[in-house]
Amino acid sequence: MYRSISSDTCFLEKLGPNGVIVDRADFRLNFQQKLASVVLLLFFASFFFPFYLARENRISEDIQSGLLSLSPLCILFLMLPPLLIALHAFARKGWMKEVTITLSGVLGLFFPMMVLAIVGSDVSDAFGSLARYSPASGMYLYLTAVIIIFLMKPKFRLYDLSGMILVALAVMFVASKGSYDRLGIVLEGRNFGSRVTREVLAHIRLTFISLGISIVIGIPLALASFQGKRAKKIVFPFLNLLQTIPSIALFGLLITPLSLLSRTFPFLREMGIKGIGNAPAIIALSTYALYPIIRYSFTAFSSIEESVIQAAKGMGMNPFQIWRMVRFPLAAPGVLHGIRVALIQTIGNATLAKLIGGDGLGVLVFEGLGQASVDMVLLGMLLIIALTIASDRIFQIFIYLVTPPALRGKAVGNG
């Protein structure tokens, strides 16, 4: 059994058989031990799958290589993070658990990258100057285990960040020596050249135009829903209906009406509004971004305590002053969190713009699928993930800065 420890937090405490509350630290420790078991299982499974794939050229057949094809030193390095996690699972509370989990995470990132650098020269020597290689399922399982290690930590501390920065610097140094020149994702990036930068910028442009439109439409609709029950009964069922439409279907459904409009009104075609391209993509992305913005904003306005409003009225504020000085400042963190959710959602959905002739990183993903190039797909997905993480962190910092100090940590609508 579990119960909430307070009305201000979502953390749960476990109740023992006699109704005695188990300490939260013990609960977290038990949870970490379960995750450690999952991590060890993933590490163990990764050793039975191919660790990397090599090809004589871009179109030749893959040659799979497992863990045993690596040198004994590489095997020893790759075994060290699982051993540290096993030590973490059996260590008692204290600095030992913190050290082992941090080291296993950092080294779990470092050693696979170094193994790929070592493999690169071996592949080139064995298959010639056109050879290429890529991580295989075993390495992906291994890195999944490493990601879970970082998720096991209750807080991401400065020494964790320092360790990741050191790994990044080491990888950059090794890359500068040409050790990753035959890595498939590097070769695909070179083949695209400056086009990668153009598609990244196009993805950002699609995202922010769509997000801007959804903000302009969504916040007034949230206000109207908050102010009137009739508007609420119309807006939310409509939003729920939109969420049931698959994103690919919505992209496709817009082609016909926009094509008809562009033929009927030629000036729309001159403005770039036609059945295929970025116009239908922006409309679809804006539509999907409405839901989190309206939902979070409505919740933020509704969650302001009535006693605060009554106090403002008692001070002699008129309705306009109450909105400007009380409601909007208190609801702002919740509204911004809704925009943040919409931003992350839109970055992912913008990948589908390629299906209707739009720009963005979906070009890399779908061209890679069409050419059966896993490396090209991986390049596109990694860029999308990096863009998503960077946008999320930047927006979180922005929300923190604009939130009044008294409201930080318990802002209305915090997601």
pLDDT tens figures, 313-367: 888 888 888 888 888 888 888 899 999 999 999 999 999 888 888 888 988 999 8
pLDDT for 20 equals 45
The answer to whether the beta carbons of residues 279 and 273 sit under 8 Å apart is yes
DSSP string spanning 171-202? Answer: HHHHHHTTTTTTBHHHHHHHHHTHHHHHHHHH
SS3 of the chain: helix, strand, coil, percent, to 5 = 75, 5, 20
The answer to whether the beta carbons of residues 129 and 110 sit under 8 Å apart is no
pLDDT tens profile 200-258:
999 999 999 999 999 999 999 999 998 888 888 888 888 888 888 887 788 778 887 87
Give the separation between CA 259 and CA 275, rounded to whole angstroms.
4
The answer to whether the beta carbons of residues 82 and 40 sit under 8 Å apart is yes
Domains of the chain, residue spans: 29-178, 192-407
Give the separation between CA 123 and CA 182, rounded to whole angstroms.
8
pLDDT tens profile 218-233:
999 999 998 888 888 8
Give the separation between CA 38 and CA 44, rounded to whole angstroms.
10
Token representation of residue 182: 């035959």
Give the separation between CA 81 and CA 103, rounded to whole angstroms.
7
Grade residue 293 by pLDDT with cuts at 50, 70 and 90: very high
Share of the chain above pLDDT 90, in %: 28
Residue whose structure tokens are 């306009």: 320
| CATH entry, 192-407, from 3.40.50.10540, 1.10.10.60, 1.10.3720.10, 3.20.20.150 | 1.10.3720.10
Give the separation between CA 353 and CA 356, rounded to whole angstroms.
6
Grade residue 401 by pLDDT with cuts at 50, 70 and 90: confident
Q: Which residues of 344-359 are buried (b: 16+ CB within 10 A; e: fewer)?
A: bbbbebbbbbbebebb
Residue 37 phi, psi dihedral angles, 5° rounding: -65, -40
DSSP string spanning 74-92? Answer: HHHHHHHHHHHHHHHHHS-
Which amino acid is present at 71? S
pLDDT tens profile 60-108:
788 888 888 888 888 999 999 999 888 877 776 667 778 888 899 999 9
Which amino acid is present at 193? G
Would you say residue 22 has pLDDT above 60?
no
What is the length of the chain? Answer: 415
Element housing 122 (H / E): helix 95-127
